Amino acid sequence: MNDMSTVAPIPHYHPTGQECVLFETAQAMRLPLLLKGPTGCGKTRFVEHMAAKTGRKLYTVACHDDLSAADLIGRYLLKGGETEWVDGPLTRAVREGAICYLDEIVEARKDVTVVLHPLTDNRRTLMIDRTGEELQAPEGFMLVASYNPGYQNVLKRLKPSTRQRFLSASFDFPKADIETDVIVQESGIDAARAAGLVRLGGAIRRLSGMDLEEGVSTRLLIYAAVLINSGMSFENAIEAAVIEPLSDDADIQQALRDLVAVTFG
């Protein structure tokens, strides 16, 4: 048994549906899992929570458009005049039977999905071309990926040949009572003011016809609560955590301020 003092606490996560059972089942069945949903709705926190709960080490990779297969698998590096092979996060996760979480997988370059295919079907193998190694993923290894279907970028869609390899779950902003509880837990603000922020969030998310790419995230509402709780005025907190992050357009910002006034008026 581990010494309790060295065990990190499990990150707080408030379930919003059947996602915890799905995760545990996917893990038991050795199947990869894809989490879909808008930014800041709790996907990363969910994976951190489940990894800690199930006692698995977690390797998180934030994918971007320069991320290549070598970034995930590893590469030869020059160390003191010698070349030395250094495992990337995916290879480490496979070797150690850990969880590898590819955040925003659609952002990654195409060669990344090629690497993932033999890992995500019943072969569960990782080919390391540069070293000639072929790793068999142990029981504990699990691949989790996330993507945001809300982005209207046709070039950034997940190909069916990739997405049909994953069990999938849709995430959305938590229902009002859960989101209130999350804001209270994360910021320390009182429930009444958290509920007010959640009402504002709901009003912003219901806006249609405005050029907002996405509604306000749970993350931003938490930021607003943290600022308010630290003593900042409500107006300044909303400005810095909600209005400015959501839009650069002066008209839209004014419309959001009007909505704030209506919501709290």
Ligand X SMILES: Nc1ncnc2c1ncn2[C@@H]1O[C@H](COP(=O)(O)OP(=O)(O)O)[C@@H](O)[C@H]1O
Which positions touch ligand X (CB under 6 A)? 12-14, 16, 37, 39-45, 174, 182, 186, 218-219, 222
Q: In the complex, what is the shortest distance from the CB of residue 146 to Mg ion, in angstroms, rounded to a whole number? A: 6
Is 218:16 a contact under the CB 8 Å cutoff? Answer: no
Nearest residue to 126 via CA among 102, 159, 93: 93
Would you say 12 or 159 has its CB closer to ligand X? Answer: 12
Would you say 74 or 201 has its CB closer to ligand X? Answer: 201
Binds 144: which of ligand X, Mg ion, none (CB < 5-8 Å by kind): none
> What residue is closest to ligand X based on CB?
42
Burial of 109 (0-12, 13-18, 19+ CB in 10 A): middle
Binding site for Mg ion (CB under 5 A): 44, 103
Distance CA 189, CA 219 (A): 14
Q: In the complex, what is the shortest distance from the CB of residue 250 to ligand X, in angstroms, rounded to a whole number? A: 27
Q: In the complex, what is the shortest distance from the CB of residue 13 to ligand X, in angstroms, rounded to a whole number? A: 4
Other CB atoms within a 10 A radius of the CB of residue 69 amount to: 22
User: Which residues are bridge partners to 36 per DSSP?
Assistant: 147, 170
Q: In the complex, what is the shortest distance from the CB of residue 104 to ligand X, in angstroms, rounded to a whole number? A: 9
Q: In the complex, what is the shortest distance from the CB of residue 149 to ligand X, in angstroms, rounded to a whole number? A: 12
Distance CA 185, CA 151 (A): 29
Binds 40: which of Mg ion, ligand X, none (CB < 5-8 Å by kind): ligand X
Would you say 32 or 174 has its CB closer to ligand X? Answer: 174
Binds 148: which of Mg ion, ligand X, none (CB < 5-8 Å by kind): none
Would you say 33 or 69 has its CB closer to ligand X? Answer: 33
Binds 186: which of ligand X, Mg ion, none (CB < 5-8 Å by kind): ligand X
What secondary structure, in 3-state letters, does 213-244 show?
A: CCCCCHHHHHHHHHHHHCCCCHHHHHHHHHHH
Q: In the complex, what is the shortest distance from the CB of residue 93 to ligand X, in angstroms, rounded to a whole number? A: 18
Is 30:165 a contact under the CB 8 Å cutoff? Answer: no
Binds 145: which of ligand X, Mg ion, none (CB < 5-8 Å by kind): none
Binds 56: which of ligand X, Mg ion, none (CB < 5-8 Å by kind): none
N-to-C CA span, the chain = 56
Would you say 39 or 263 has its CB closer to Mg ion? Answer: 39
Distance CA 107, CA 123 (A): 25
Is 190:146 a contact under the CB 8 Å cutoff? Answer: no
Would you say 63 or 198 has its CB closer to Mg ion? Answer: 63
Would you say 174 or 196 has its CB closer to ligand X? Answer: 174
Q: In the complex, what is the shortest distance from the CB of residue 51 to Mg ion, in angstroms, rounded to a whole number? A: 14
Is 145:32 a contact under the CB 8 Å cutoff? Answer: yes
